[in-house]
Homo-oligomer: A and B are copies of this chain.
């Protein structure tokens, strides 16, 4: 593996998931693979789960970890080629990416959507420019449009809960939130589910359609109840409007996931990437039920990162 920024960077999802599950059973099986190698984790945005799981994954492989907290204000990058840098930007992204490449064998970078400029976000301005100039493999720790390490962890979690029917039904359901939230987790989950052997349905209120680029082969409905019927896995996530870019639109119905709504499912397992606004996105009764996989997903973030780092290390 030469980079990991979307599902397109993997060759066989089933094999990758199985390899991750093998690492979960024996996390230190490759404890010397990363000896003498350094991973740099660059956070342009805050992080808890990604920060800790990536660090642990790298340490399990014997790598050294260097964390760089680069708040966008504190380390203001210039993005324009040829810019006369007499303003507020202090370093060109081309220099930042090249210099970090001198110190790291792999670079993980987190760069959220700003949700202000749709074109910049869609084009992954920060990630794509960083990768253009970096000379070592780059791993996305969540970019403007995708969060592949989360999605791989989600696939691992689903694989740990096999169903008796040929294909599980997996539903991604929009949930309410008080803030404007990026599309990366939803886009990415959709992308990975379409690469999986599952029946995949997306449900959300009108106006919350995701970028079609990520949903083209998915069943999409604004009828939450219909979507939830016979579901085996229900993935709950808020996102802001893509059409009215970054806006929080008013919704008439109550989209919070409750035990009542789950009655029509096939005793569905519940998933959420966390952090979760309890009793806004999902009720406590659902999150704290036996069917909740939220902490298993969090744990699997370790093995999703570890299998990716392992694949990259093997080709360094």
Contacts and interface: CB of A to CB of B under 8 A. Distances in A.
A59 interface: yes
B48 A275 contact: no
B99 A274 contact: yes
A81 B283 CA distance: 12
A126 interface: no
A90 B91 CA distance: 32
A277 interface: yes
Number of copies of this protein chain within its complex: 3
Contacts of A46: 74-75
B38 A56 contact: yes
A52 B40 contact: yes
Nearest to A287: B95
A86 interface: yes
A32 to B, nearest CB: 13
Contacts of A229: none
A27 B64 CA distance: 14
A280 B86 contact: yes
A300 to B, nearest CB: 9
Contact of A302 (B59, B64, B86, B103): B103
B275 A90 contact: yes
A163 interface: no
A2 interface: no
Interface stretch (A3-11, A239-247, A291-299): A291-299
B56 A299 contact: no
Interface in A175-219: 178
A220 interface: no
9 contacts: A52-B68, A56-B66, A59-B64, A85-B277, A86-B178, A95-B275, A98-B295, A99-B298, A102-B298
Given A38-B59, A56-B64, A85-B279, 13 more contacts: A27-B36, A81-B284, A83-B279, A84-B278, A87-B178, A90-B275, A91-B275, A91-B276, A92-B276, A95-B278, A102-B295, A102-B302, A103-B302
Interface of A: 27-28, 31, 36, 38, 40, 46, 48-49, 51-53, 55-56, 59, 64, 66, 68, 70, 74-75, 78, 81-87, 90-92, 95-96, 98-100, 102-104, 178, 274-280, 284, 294-295, 298-299, 302
